[in-house]
Structure 1
Amino acid sequence: MSASYRGGEPVAQVVRSGFAESFHRGSVAVTDPAGNLVASIGDTGSPVFPRSSNKPMQALAMLRAGWEPGSEADLAIAAASHRGEPFHLERVRSVLAGAGLGEEHLQCPPDLPGNPDARNAVVALDGPEPKRVYMNCSGKHSGMLAACAAAGWDLAAYRDPEHPLQELVTATVEELTGDAVEHVGVDGCGAPVLAVSLHGIARAFARFVEAPEGTPERRVADAMRAHPHLIDGTNGPDNRSMTAVPGLLAKGGAEGFHVVAVPGVGAAAVKIDDGAGRASMPVALRALATMAGWEVPLAAKPEIDALTWPEVLGGGEPVGRVRTLL
């Protein structure tokens, strides 16, 4: 891999009232089920931060550390970027309680729920008081703490890149992506974020969906797909896509990152250069269809079309769409 990401090409445009008012550039890596690169746009070999798209691999490392979740849903929340809805908070607290821990052990930043209804509800009840459990990465942090408790590792330093858990995460990421981690940063939640290539992250997701039943990789994928509402939220694109297409695995990340994988088809990883999340899922889904030959199931087509060509509003009414250029 080269030392720095070089950027991509135009992959989407925003059309308002029949007029193209803006464009998004980015890079796309598409693999076959074995993880081989079969198509690409832009720079797919240089390291980028996948942000929360790394979470399935972090959850896998938690299992490898010896954590045994109390339920499939507890494993799903550890790989989630939740929106602070009541069922999200219930699962985060379940993971902590299963390890004999509490919210005071969390080291993610205090926040308010990302879901507007959930945020309004907690503000009405407690006032605008941010809490760590509301933060969208609290599921990952609760899982990290539970893994440390299971392994007998220090709880206070679990975010340190040299902590045994984070070293295991790094080894897991390198194994699944086939990349050497070239840079370690600090994610928005305070935990380490690891830079790998787009091809590498797509290869990892292909491995998740092709893993044999009962393996730790398959456990993570199955938990996410069985509980998609936990992964982002009621109206989130990951929830909607995984609900519409059984077997599909999707995980978005900050700064315009998204990965989607389908068993027997392959995976698509997308980085939007300007960090715009509105273009990442449409491009990922379209890449699977046009570059990997994925045939969207007929029953899922309305929902997948809505995610691939999201509406642009004017005056509260649809006046255009985000249009992919693949």
Structure 2
Amino acid sequence: MSSSPLADAPAIREPRHAPVAHLTRAGVVEGTHYGSVVVLGGDGELRFRLGDVEAACYPRSALKPVQAVAMVRAGLPLDGELLSLAMGSHSGEERHLAGARRILDLAGLSEDDLRNVPDLPYDPAVRDTWVREGRPPSRLAQNCSGKHAAMLYLCKLNGWPTADYDDPAHPLQRVIAGTVEDLTGQRVAHVTVDGCGTPLFAVSLHGLARAAARIAAGTRGTPESRVAHALRGHPEMASGTGRDVAALMRAVPGLLAKDGFEGVQVAALPDGRAVAVKISDGANRARVPVAAAALALAGVDPRLLTGFAGEPATGGGRPVGGVRPVAALDPSALLAPA
């Protein structure tokens, strides 16, 4: 763990977001997505920023690799695909449900012990199949079930209560809060409840990028390295078939990436370069191309990112435009190191 003093908590304010992407149709700007972007160099220095990267924000599921590091530090023995699932926002495919069951079996517990909310699978095709088959919402099918199962397993291993593992005062959640502050380098601004029911910590986008950098560049054998290795090696277990965040990790060697609801994306490379993105309106259609542009600013070969340029806008069934990052995200805007 870091011995550096923590920075103050980021300010809770209305973020001063800036335009980050335009929806164009036949050369005319039809819509604008606002947001914030931060790019860090391998030395941890700020290389580029757009919008408000220091205001408090909720990383949502983009914080899950940090939560996974906290659990590994506290003794979680998972590795490989099950550790990837433990930081997943999975699609609800059978392999995800089977993995969550395996973790619960290791803990000697069942789906009834999970405290996440029952839901249908996140993937539209899988969800449609469930509906056709008359299958009801399930805690295992909910996209955070791997994280919840891992939390229960760790509680059993450490002799902590399992009935209230989602309480912010629980020993597990205090460990996670401490790791969030350690890896982001700043105090948490606020704690609320995430969609799945576990505590959610407000940090800055800059702090989120710092945390991702520390995980991606973790020394071999450390909890950070174990988490990074699991996510890189099994990206579909943390997401699902056809998910853009898994495809991005497959396309860029060594990349660690995690998305979150409401337009959040974090990504980092083994040398410590990192980016974090927040789309103000939560739109995935802007998150993907803006994250790709941020990675290009970080020095990733743009040829590796061509598949993430954004979905087209169509007219009469033909492409007539699309969502494109603003000019400020062109690699020529990269700030020189101080």
TM-score by length of 1: 0.93
Structure 1 residue 288 corresponds to structure 2 residue 295:
yes
Q: Hey, what's the Cα distance between the residues in 2 that align with 1:60 and 1:263?
A: 16
Written as runs of structure 1 = structure 2, the 5 A alignment for 1:217-232 is: 217-232=224-239
Partner residue in 2 for 1:275: 282
Question: CA 1:314–1:68 in 2, change beyond 3 Å: closer, same or farther?
Answer: farther
What is the SS of the residue equivalent to 1:21?
A: strand
Partner residue in 1 for 2:109: 101
Q: Hey, what's the Cα distance between the residues in 2 that align with 1:249 and 1:318?
A: 31
Deviation track 1:257-305 (CA, whole Å, cap 9, x = no partner) reads: 1111122361111111112122123212201213x23324x5xx3xx21
Give 5+ residue unaligned stretches, structure 2: 1-9, 330-338
Indicate conservation of the 8 Å contact 2:69/2:223, yes or no. Answer: yes
Deviation track 1:222-249 (CA, whole Å, cap 9, x = no partner) reads: 1011001112111111110011122111
Indicate conservation of the 8 Å contact 1:9/1:25, yes or no. Answer: yes
Q: Hey, what's the Cα distance between the residues in 1 that align with 2:158 and 2:315?
A: 53
Answer with 91-100 or 157-166: which moved more: 91-100
How far residue 315 of structure 1 moved from its aligned partner, in angstroms, is: 5.4
Structure 1 residue 76 corresponds to structure 2 residue 84:
yes
How far residue 128 of structure 1 moved from its aligned partner, in angstroms, is: 4.3
Question: CA 1:123–1:316 in 2, change beyond 3 Å: closer, same or farther?
Answer: farther
How far residue 174 of structure 1 moved from its aligned partner, in angstroms, is: 0.3
Matching residue's letter, 2:292:
L
Answer with 19-28 or 316-325: which moved more: 316-325
Q: Hey, what's the Cα distance between the residues in 2 that align with 1:65 and 1:315?
A: 56
Structure 1 residue 122 corresponds to structure 2 residue 130:
yes
Q: What is the aligned-residue RMSD (CA, Å)?
A: 1.6
Indicate conservation of the 8 Å contact 2:118/2:138, yes or no. Answer: yes
Partner residue in 1 for 2:334: none
Q: Hey, what's the Cα distance between the residues in 2 that align with 1:315 and 1:254?
A: 31
What is the SS of the residue equivalent to 2:165?
A: coil
Written as runs of structure 1 = structure 2, the 5 A alignment for 1:102-181 is: 102-125=110-133, 127-181=134-188
Give 5+ residue unaligned stretches, structure 1: none
Matching residue's letter, 2:300:
W
Deviation track 1:101-121 (CA, whole Å, cap 9, x = no partner) reads: 111111111111111222233
What is the SS of the residue equivalent to 1:133?
A: coil
Partner residue in 2 for 1:49: 58
Q: Hey, what's the Cα distance between the residues in 1 that align with 2:177 and 2:317?
A: 45
How far residue 200 of structure 1 moved from its aligned partner, in angstroms, is: 0.5
Q: Hey, what's the Cα distance between the residues in 1 that align with 2:300 and 2:131?
A: 44
How far residue 77 of structure 1 moved from its aligned partner, in angstroms, is: 0.3
What is the SS of the residue equivalent to 1:195?
A: strand
How far residue 16 of structure 1 moved from its aligned partner, in angstroms, is: 2.9
Indicate conservation of the 8 Å contact 1:153/1:164, yes or no. Answer: yes
Matching residue's letter, 1:307:
F
Indicate conservation of the 8 Å contact 1:93/1:102, yes or no. Answer: yes
Question: CA 1:293–1:243 in 2, change beyond 3 Å: closer, same or farther?
Answer: closer
Q: Hey, what's the Cα distance between the residues in 2 that align with 1:75 and 1:87?
A: 14
Matching residue's letter, 2:214:
R
Q: Hey, what's the Cα distance between the residues in 1 that align with 2:274 and 2:14?
A: 20
Indicate conservation of the 8 Å contact 1:14/1:322, yes or no. Answer: yes
Indicate conservation of the 8 Å contact 2:58/2:200, yes or no. Answer: yes
What is the SS of the residue equivalent to 2:148?
A: helix
Answer with 152-161 or 313-322: which moved more: 313-322
Q: How many residues align?
A: 318
Indicate conservation of the 8 Å contact 1:33/1:210, yes or no. Answer: no
Partner residue in 1 for 2:98: 90
Deviation track 1:170-215 (CA, whole Å, cap 9, x = no partner) reads: 0000000001001001101011100001110001111111111111
Indicate conservation of the 8 Å contact 2:311/2:322, yes or no. Answer: yes
Indicate conservation of the 8 Å contact 2:285/2:310, yes or no. Answer: no
Indicate conservation of the 8 Å contact 2:57/2:205, yes or no. Answer: yes
Indicate conservation of the 8 Å contact 1:67/1:151, yes or no. Answer: no
Which among 9, 12, 33 is matched to residue 3 of structure 1? 12
Which among 182, 200, 206 is matched to residue 199 of structure 1? 206
Q: Hey, what's the Cα distance between the residues in 1 that align with 2:317 and 2:132?
A: 27
Q: Hey, what's the Cα distance between the residues in 1 that align with 2:58 and 2:110?
A: 30
Question: CA 1:77–1:314 in 2, change beyond 3 Å: closer, same or farther?
Answer: farther
Matching residue's letter, 2:80:
E
Matching residue's letter, 1:84:
G
What is the SS of the residue equivalent to 1:112?
A: coil
